[in-house]
Amino acid sequence: MNKIISFFLISIGLSIFIGIATFMAIDYFQINLNKNDAILCISFFCIVTCLVFFISYLGMKKGHQESISYFYAALAIRFISTLLYILFYVKTHKGYQIAFIFYFLLLFILFIIFEIYKLTTKLRSDSERK
């Protein structure tokens, strides 16, 4: 349980850090990006990352054979939820901002790197114990 809580706190802290850094970059470089869209995007990735980690953690608790199917389920949930978010953005906005597209892809890559790093460190610690 401590691993789950620590991951959620780290994920929320990372989201806040990314939010502050990107808002400073938006102001500094004078990028034409709606801040409400940026906040919604950061919140979306934080929630999806926590959900994916929780599903992966449940799989790791079940054992090695079961964990593979949980990892694939988590990957499918991330993929489908990202597609749904893009569909939501397309339906709610008339014009597509190229700045938002780059921002979305940057956040996607940052959160994927964070998730892979945290999951591999959890897996590495399990394999070192055996």
Residue 129 has pLDDT above 60, yes or no: no
Q: Which of 99, 104, 117, 116 is nearest to 44 (CA)?
A: 104
Residue 76 has pLDDT above 60, yes or no: yes
Q: Enter the pTM of the model.
A: 0.81
Rounded CA Rg of the chain: 16
Q: What is the pLDDT of residue 41?
A: 92
Count helices and strands in the chain by DSSP H and E runs: 4, 0
What's the pLDDT tens digit per position in 43-68?
999 999 889 888 888 888 888 788 88
Higher pLDDT, 124 or 58: 58
Higher pLDDT, 42 or 67: 42
Q: Where are the domains of the chain?
A: 2-129
Residue 59 and residue 54: Cα distance in Å, rounded? 9
Contact yes or no for 59/70 (Cβ under 8 A): yes
Q: What is the pLDDT of residue 124?
A: 57
The mean-pLDDT minimum among 13-17, 82-86, 100-104, 121-125 falls in 121-125
Q: Which of 48, 46, 32 is nearest to 102 (CA)?
A: 32
State the alpha helices, DSSP H only, in 34-63: 35-62
- Residue by residue, what is the 3-state secondary structure of 69-96? HHHHHHHHHHHHHHHHHHHHHHHHCCCC
Contact yes or no for 58/3 (Cβ under 8 A): no
Residue 49 and residue 18: Cα distance in Å, rounded? 14
Residue 6 and residue 53: Cα distance in Å, rounded? 11
